[in-house]
Amino acid sequence: MSGCRVFPGAAPGILLFFLLAPAQLRADAACVIVTGLGGVPEYEENFLNWGHTFEKLFQEKDRCAVILLDGRTQKREAVLQVIDKATGSLTPQGELWIVLIGHGNHDGKEFRFNINGPDLSESDLHNAMNRAGNRRIYLIAATSASGALIRRLSARNRVILTATRNHFERQPPLFPSFFLEAFKSPESDADQNGKVSLLEAFLFSRTRVESWYQEKGRLQTEHPLLDDNGDGEGSPEPRAVAGEGQLASISYLSAPPIQEYTTAEARELARNKVRLEREVEDLKFQKGSLAEAEYYKQLEQLLLQLARVSEQLRALEMGK
């Protein structure tokens, strides 16, 4: 099997493939991406957009099965079944990736990821990951309150990334936006080896998150953590912690970033485009704190700027 097999949604064909796939079609990696409930359409739009972008990234991994589930319609039992079947589709040394994008909370006992019906709980994830045995497992918890997951889910041969440092950080995080940018930005390739490791993507996004809040003059409501040495203690600076970050430094989610634009002017426009797209994402998370008229006024202004920059970028590329 060359390239990724992609299974958007939760069609019965996903499970049928996992049940019937012959040994020669076993995957070297399987990724289950779950987008959760947002409460308001603007939140869910962010979650879904990020989910689709993760899906495209994983399509670049060789011999990889990718499953994108919409938690607005898929229930806990279906999600867990897909994770189990994804695990069963792997070669003996295959990797399991789980990506959660949406709202998380803590009920006083454990973390819960908000989806249709009963939430997907910390215990559910713990049991599903344990059923994967000694396989290498990656959990990207791009949700609020996700820092609570590290203490229980940490183990050898696992990489856990969380958007927050604890369960008290409850605001929807922008971390997934910055994390995804890392795989398109040559700036994130710190060791200049032509590809972006999970550690490099984490450090890039953690720094960008901090800078974003400083530039906005806002209290930082998310502090990403990484754990990959099984000690149950996530670190914001894994390079500075003995043993932390070693596994993430040799783990890769996608192909190397491509320098898409050839001129300095085009690259600057591309950076502005990314910045404006993030401004739109951020504004959607601020909708509840703004008057409706003000929200739509700001949204219109950003979309007009975004359209203008996109048109300038297209014109430059067409004139090459």
pLDDT in tens, 237-266: 997 666 789 999 989 876 555 556 677 787
Q: If you ran DSSP here, which 8-state letter would residue 287 be given?
A: G
Q: Write out pLDDT tens, residues 128-157.
A: 999 999 999 999 999 999 999 999 999 999
- Where does the chain show beta strands of DSSP type E? 4-8, 27-35, 64-70, 90-102, 104-106, 111-113, 120-121, 137-143, 158-162, 225-227
**How much of the chain exceeds pLDDT 90, in percent?**
58
CATH domain 4-258 topology: Rossmann fold (3.40.50)
Residue stretches of the chain with pLDDT short of 70: 1-25, 240-242, 254-261, 319-320
pLDDT for res 254: 63
* Domain boundaries defined on the chain: 4-258, 261-320
Q: Which residues pair with 32 in a beta bridge?
A: 67, 98
Q: Cα-Cα-Cα-Cα dihedral of 64, 259, 206, 111, to 10°?
A: -30
Q: What is the biggest distance separating any 2 CA atoms in the chain, rounded to whole angstroms?
A: 59
CA dist 297 and 286 (Å) reads 13
- Where does 148-280 show beta strands of DSSP type E? 158-162, 225-227
pLDDT for res 75: 95
CA dist 284 and 281 (Å) reads 5
